[in-house]
Amino acid sequence: MKFNTKTRRLLWIPVFAALVGSAAWAFVAGRSPSRLAALSQSAPVAQRAPYDPNAVHSNLVFLARKAKGDVGDPITRAMLARTYLESYRETGDAADAVRAEAAARASLAIRTRHNGEAWMQLAGSLLAQHRFPEALAAARRATPYSDQAYRQCAGLEIEIGQYQAAERDLAKSPPRGEDPAFLALAARLLEVRGKNADALALLQEAASQADANLDMPHQSVAWFHERLGHRLSSMGRLDEAEQSYNAALKVFPRDYRTMAALARLHAARNDWQHAIEWGDKAAAIVPAPETFALLGDAYAALGQASAAAGQWKLVEQIGALARSQGAVYDRQRALFYADHNRNLQEAVTLARGELRLRKDIYAHDTLAWTLFKAGKLAEAEAAATRARAMGTQDATLFYHAGSIALARGQRDRARLLLSRALEINPTFDPTAPRRVRAVLAQLGTKSTP
């Protein structure tokens, strides 16, 4: 078959078009490998590797050896600090946070300028030790080198109640592509402002982004799910919260924080056996006082007074341990004492100490609750008002404020506040909602179920 010149020229058109199309497709596919994988049905879908409990430790050993081999290496020491912090987040071992601080300081001793990573790790280690002002100062030193440091500043400012400064700093570190850390911080600020639904949406997006990021450490992915679980739980959506907690444990099976959260969730359902089961699992890894307190409540609810007393005694002993080490702030212990009507003067002292260190809404709330229990109602009311000054829609804040109002004889105000607590979260506490309903019934208000 023979083609004339004109036909041959026409035949080149589809060939050329095919070449251009192929090149364009290859370019796009090359830039976006995940999309290529999605398009190609036969390509295997990448999955997160199972959690390796020895991975962080192996990294620590490697980096420590490398650091020992080169006494003038600031980068390895900053990486060592980062890895110690990773270990701390996995194990809850405060000694790892102290070692992270030592490694970061060693890095900074070698190179103070242009060492943003070490400043950030130092800030992280100080945060883990609740040394907030020092942590913020260290994070601020890192800002010339990394806009991630602004985000760290924002996180710290939220912890100490400087919410407007946190919003400003967060704005200086806008999200880059899929950025679950940004979303989680933004959600926290929305929660403080009382925008719970918006915060939930951001946290859901953050959790799915964390799931998609296969390079993210297991405990970090689990943290996003745990955080989402907390949000759902504080809105009374316990079944969804449980799913989120289970997702966290699937990624990071030894997540003692999520285990403790599941214990609280079951306690909120008054499912005491499961609460004890999860509480025991969490305490076997990290024996935290709040977990023992919850276990004590669970045993008490089951009528096992002796077992309950044993758990509460452990909380007291940990308190003695903390006192011996000079701790003058501890909001968990302050709340435990107030909830259990014991050591009320110490509870107030602890709450005041906490407020000197951090002026966030929960520090004001803790002080309000301890003052209320200690019978200092006027001061308690002022503190409770400060706790809700940002418009935060947290059932516990309303419950505490309502209880104080009731004690001061402000029946209408109490009715309003207590009703609002149940509206926000009808399961905000294992036992308090029942009491609130009884009070509202007495006050003549029909509460939500």
Partner 1 sequence: MKFTPTFCVLCALVISLAKLSAAHPMGNFSINHYARFEARANALSLRYILDFAEIPTAQRMPQLDSNGDGKIEGDEKSAFLRAESAALAKNLSVEIDGKRVPLQVLSSRLDLHPGAGGLDTLRVVIEYNVAVSSGEHRVSYRDDNFRGRTGWMEVIAVAGKGGAIRDSSAATVDRSRGLTVFPADAEAVKPLQNSATFTMTGATGASGATSGNASATASGAAQPNPNPASPETQTPAATSGSATPQNRFTQAIAERDLTPGVMLAGILISFLFGVAHSLSPGHGKTMVAAYLVGSRGTPRHAMLLGLVVTITHTFGVFLLGLATLFATNYIVPERLYPALSAASGLIIFGVGLWLLMSRWQMLAAQQHNYSHSHDGHGHDGHEHSHDGDHAHAHSHDHDHSHAHGEVHSHGGKAHSHAVPEGPVTLRTLVTLGISGGIVPCPEALVVLLAAVKMHRIGYGLLLIVAFSIGLAAALIAIGLVVVSAGQRLSRLDRFSAGGKLTRYLPIGSAAIITIIGIALTLRAAGGAP
Our finding on whether 194 is near partner 1 (CB under 8 A) is: no
Q: Which two tokens stand for residue 171?
A: 């704005």
Q: Which is it for the CA torsion 281, 283, 288, 290, positive or negative?
A: positive
Q: Kindly tell me which residue out of 29, 75, 286, 443 binds partner 1, with binding defined by CB under 8 A.
A: 286
Question: Are 279 and 270 within 8 A, CB to CB?
Answer: no
Q: Kindly tell me which residue out of 51, 78, 84, 126 binds partner 1, with binding defined by CB under 8 A.
A: 84
User: In whole angstroms, how far apart are CA 115 and each of 72, 104, 170?
Assistant: 13, 10, 21
Residues 105-144 that bind partner 1 (CB under 8 A): 106
Question: Are 97 and 128 within 8 A, CB to CB?
Answer: yes
Instruction: Select the span of 10-18, 279-287, 372-380, 397-405 touching partner 1 (CB under 8 A).
Output: 279-287
Instruction: Select the span of 29-37, 65-73, 215-223, 230-238 touching partner 1 (CB under 8 A).
Output: 65-73
User: In whole angstroms, how far apart are CA 295 and each of 251, 262, 276?
Assistant: 25, 12, 6
Residue 177 gets which letter from DSSP? S
Instruction: Select the span of 87-95, 133-141, 338-346, 396-404 touching partner 1 (CB under 8 A).
Output: 87-95
Question: Are 61 and 99 within 8 A, CB to CB?
Answer: no
Q: Kindly tell me which residue out of 29, 37, 93, 213 binds partner 1, with binding defined by CB under 8 A.
A: 93
Q: Closer to partner 1 at the Cβ: 70 or 412?
A: 70
Q: Kindly tell me which residue out of 29, 55, 75, 102 binds partner 1, with binding defined by CB under 8 A.
A: 102
Residue of 48, 17, 419 whose CA lies nearest to 251: 48
Residue 431 gets which letter from DSSP? S
Q: Kindly tell me which residue out of 94, 171, 378, 441 binds partner 1, with binding defined by CB under 8 A.
A: 94
Number of amino acids touching partner 1 (CB under 8 A): 39
Q: Which two tokens stand for residue 441?
A: 């019934």
CB of 444 to partner 1, least distance (A): 48
Our finding on whether 64 is near partner 1 (CB under 8 A) is: yes
CB of 332 to partner 1, least distance (A): 15
Q: Kindly tell me which residue out of 1, 15, 45, 71 binds partner 1, with binding defined by CB under 8 A.
A: 71
- Helical H runs in 252-393? 256-268, 272-285, 289-301, 305-324, 331-339, 344-357, 361-373, 377-387
Q: Closer to partner 1 at the Cβ: 102 or 301?
A: 102
Site string for partner 1, 225-264 (x = CB under 8 A): -----------------------------x----------
Q: Which two tokens stand for residue 409?
A: 């004889």
Provide the b/e sequence for 415-429 (b: ≥16 CB within 10 Å).
Answer: bbbbbbbbebbbbbb
Q: Closer to partner 1 at the Cβ: 105 or 413?
A: 105
Instruction: Select the span of 67-75, 163-171, 193-201, 434-442 touching partner 1 (CB under 8 A).
Output: 67-75
Q: Closer to partner 1 at the Cβ: 189 or 318?
A: 318
Q: Which two tokens stand for residue 38?
A: 């999605």
Residue of 425, 430, 374 whose CA lies nearest to 396: 425
Question: Are 253 and 242 within 8 A, CB to CB?
Answer: no
Residues 6+ apart with CB under 8 A from 260: 278, 279, 282, 288, 290, 291, 294
Our finding on whether 100 is near partner 1 (CB under 8 A) is: yes
- Helical H runs in 32-93? 33-39, 55-69, 74-91
Q: Closer to partner 1 at the Cβ: 64 or 407?
A: 64
Q: Which two tokens stand for residue 358?
A: 């951090």
| Burial classification of residue 335, based on how many CB atoms lie within 10 Å of its CB (0-12 exposed, 13-18 middle, 19 or more buried) | buried
Our finding on whether 222 is near partner 1 (CB under 8 A) is: no
Q: Kindly tell me which residue out of 80, 249, 351, 363 binds partner 1, with binding defined by CB under 8 A.
A: 80
Q: Kindly tell me which residue out of 29, 92, 332, 408 binds partner 1, with binding defined by CB under 8 A.
A: 92
Site string for partner 1, 308-347 (x = CB under 8 A): --x---x--xx-xxxxxx----------------------
Our finding on whether 305 is near partner 1 (CB under 8 A) is: no
CB of 258 to partner 1, least distance (A): 14
Cα angle for residues 350, 391, 162 (degrees, 5° grid): 55
CB of 128 to partner 1, least distance (A): 13
CB of 368 to partner 1, least distance (A): 28
CA 119/CA 47 separation, integer angstroms: 34
CB of 252 to partner 1, least distance (A): 12
Q: Which two tokens stand for residue 146?
A: 């990394």
Q: Which positions lie near partner 1, rule CB under 8 A?
A: 54, 57, 60-62, 64-65, 67-68, 71, 77, 80-81, 84, 91-95, 99-100, 102-103, 106, 254, 284-287, 310, 314, 317-318, 320-325
